[in-house]
């Protein structure tokens, strides 16, 4: 199992928790972004710097993740592509994206984007605090446990 992190917009406390969890469980953690993401020198992370073209990091994750991996992203269009590929996905607030909820989430995201660009929606004011981090921690543990019980053999190589 690989923990893939869409790292460009992932909050620092979430990245830190993913690193601690990966280290504790001896899991491969891959940050994917279009720039180097600051991290502790001893963090067990493979940093993959994608091209700077739009969605290059997303494309890398889609092309290299496999069923049995877990992806952490707040990018709903990316989450839909991954769910369609049978890959487990959670966001940085602990929401688990599934076949049952991803289309509704994507429709809501598209509606809010349309309202925002036309000036009809207020600025986003969602804060990230202890409650959100706790929700994420619970979802991360739950999904890793579920995937480890399934223990699917992973095709391909682990990124280095």
| Each residue's pLDDT tens digit, 73-128 | 999 999 999 999 999 999 999 999 998 887 777 667 666 777 677 777 666 667 88
Domains of the chain by residue range: 2-150
H-assigned helices in 41-159: 56-64, 76-84, 102-117, 130-150
User: Domain 2-150 belongs to what topology?
Assistant: Rossmann fold (3.40.50)
Assess contact for 39 and 48: CB atoms under 8 A: no
pTM of the model: 0.85
pLDDT tens string 8-39: 889 999 999 999 999 999 999 999 999 999 88
Can you tell me the distance from the alpha carbon of 4 to that of 31, in angstroms, rounded to the nearest whole number? 6
Can you tell me the distance from the alpha carbon of 24 to that of 143, in angstroms, rounded to the nearest whole number? 15
């Amino acid at each position: 199992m690989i923990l893939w992190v869409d790292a460009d917009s992932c909050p620092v406390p979430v990245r830190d928790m993913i690193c601690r969890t990966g280290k504790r469980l001896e899991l491969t953690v891959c940050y994917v972004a279009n720039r180097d993401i600051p991290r502790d020198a001893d963090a067990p992370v493979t940093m993959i710097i994608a091209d700077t073209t739009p969605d290059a990091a997303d494309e890398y994750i889609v092309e290299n993740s496999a069923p049995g991996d877990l992806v952490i992203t707040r990018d709903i269009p990316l989450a839909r592509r991954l769910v369609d590929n049978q890959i487990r996905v959670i966001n940085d607030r602990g929401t688990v994206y599934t076949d049952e909820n991803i289309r509704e989430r994507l429709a809501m995201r598209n509606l809010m984007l349309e309202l925002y660009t036309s000036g009809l929606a207020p600025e986003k004011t969602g804060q990230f605090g202890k409650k959100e981090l706790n929700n994420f921690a619970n979802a991360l543990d739950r999904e890793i446990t579920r995937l480890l019980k399934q223990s699917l053999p992973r095709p391909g190589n682990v990124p280095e």
